[in-house]
């Protein structure tokens, strides 16, 4: 797979909306938004989505806004930050009939200066968090988690998140080799690249390699705790 999806238009738009986060600038640069954000994001999803389904056949994607492409508009109803627009491009490839975050997927975020991508689930909902903790404790699924994380780490220098707790949750204990995961309230495996990587002709191939390398963590989640798949 080759061919440039993202161009300098993409980075120019993201840099511009970060510096001028206002409706007037957005409307004056709507053509740049359509080229650099919508069309470029759609092309990436169309190129990468079918290849990701080869990794996980139940994967879903849709090359459109409110599908795999997140809206540029921010929901400011309950936020102190009233800036109307995001300053990044988010893409999501999910599992389950409906687009949601209730099952693991492949995530991608392009900022003016960086690319972050990987697999997993950010911030478990309460029911999923409970299932995750039980899966950590139980021998078969717990050992499978340790093996999945070890495989990802053997594949490269990937960050394993999301360890957010300082203390063990009450009522849960696990063997030493996996007790640390009881401090996690989400589980992801990912990496970061410079934004300039997105302008290279082999960028889609590079992303596929990282998605594939981090997938053992996503597969464990899909097999053991996903509620939305």
pLDDT at 165 exceeding the cut of 70: yes
Average pLDDT (29-52) is 97
The structure's pTM equals 0.94
pLDDT at 229 exceeding the cut of 70: no
Nearest residue to 72 via CA among 25, 105, 119: 25
Q: Is residue 2 part of a domain?
A: no
pLDDT at 150 exceeding the cut of 80: yes
Nearest residue to 213 via CA among 191, 193, 198: 191
DSSP 162: E
pLDDT of residue 97: 81
pLDDT at 207 exceeding the cut of 70: yes
CATH number of 114's domain:
3.30.930
pLDDT at 228 exceeding the cut of 60: no
Average pLDDT (182-203) is 97
The count of C-alpha atoms lying within 13 angstroms of the C-alpha of 153, restricted to the half-sphere facing its C-beta, is 9
Query: How many residues comprise the chain?
Result: 229
Q: Is residue 218 part of a domain?
A: yes
pLDDT at 2 exceeding the cut of 80: no
Q: Is residue 65 part of a domain?
A: yes
Residue with tokens 């003016």: 112
Query: How many domains would you assign to the chain?
Result: 1
112 neighbors 87 (Cβ within 8 angstroms)? yes
pLDDT of residue 71: 95
Higher per-residue confidence, 227 vs 3? 3
pLDDT of residue 177: 95
pLDDT of residue 100: 79
Percent of the chain with pLDDT over 70: 97
Distance CA 125, CA 185 (A): 9
Give the CA distances from residue 183 to residues 163, 187, 219, 224, in Å, rounded to whole numbers and listed in that order: 5, 10, 20, 18
DSSP 110: E
Helix or strand or coil: residue 194? strand
pLDDT digit string, tens, across residues 118-132: 999 999 999 999 999
Distance CA 91, CA 182 (A): 28
Q: Is residue 3 part of a domain?
A: no
Distance CA 48, CA 125 (A): 28
DSSP 67: T
Helix or strand or coil: residue 143? helix
pLDDT of residue 1: 53
Which two three-digit tokens encode residue 225? Answer: 């705790």
pLDDT digit string, tens, across residues 52-86: 999 999 999 999 999 999 999 988 787 788 889 99
pLDDT at 23 exceeding the cut of 90: yes
DSSP 70: P
Which two three-digit tokens encode residue 218? Answer: 């996503």
Which two three-digit tokens encode residue 41? Answer: 């994001």
**Can you give the residue range of the structural domain that contains 129?**
8-224
Q: Is residue 1 part of a domain?
A: no
pLDDT at 51 exceeding the cut of 60: yes
pLDDT of residue 98: 79
Average pLDDT (79-103) is 89
Angle at 50 between CA 88 and CA 194, to 5 degrees: 35
């Amino acid at each position: 797979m080759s061919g440039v999806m993202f161009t300098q238009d993409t980075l120019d738009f993201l840099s511009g909306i970060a510096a001028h986060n206002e409706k007037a600038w957005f409307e004056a640069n709507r053509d740049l938004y359509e080229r650099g954000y919508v069309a470029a994001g759609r092309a990436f999803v169309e190129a990468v989505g079918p290849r990701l389904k080869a990794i996980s056949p139940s994967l879903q994607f849709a090359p459109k806004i409110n599908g795999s492409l997140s809206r540029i508009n921010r929901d400011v109803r309950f936020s102190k930050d009233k800036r109307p627009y995001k300053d990044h491009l988010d893409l999501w490839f999910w599992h389950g009939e409906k687009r949601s975050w209730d099952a693991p997927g492949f995530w991608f975020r392009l900022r003016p200066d960086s690319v972050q991508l990987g697999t997993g689930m950010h911030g478990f909902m309460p029911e999923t968090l409970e299932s995750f903790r039980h899966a950590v404790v139980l021998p078969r699924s717990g050992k499978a988690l340790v093996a999945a994380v070890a495989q990802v780490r053997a594949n490269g220098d990937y960050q394993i998140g999301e360890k957010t707790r300082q203390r063990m949750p009450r009522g849960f204990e696990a063997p030493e080799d996996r007790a640390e995961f009881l401090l996690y309230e989400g589980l992801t495996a990912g990496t970061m690249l410079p934004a300039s990587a997105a302008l290279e002709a082999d960028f889609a191939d590079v992303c596929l390699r990282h998605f594939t390398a981090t997938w053992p963590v996503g597969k464990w989640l899909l097999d053991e705790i996903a509620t939305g798949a």
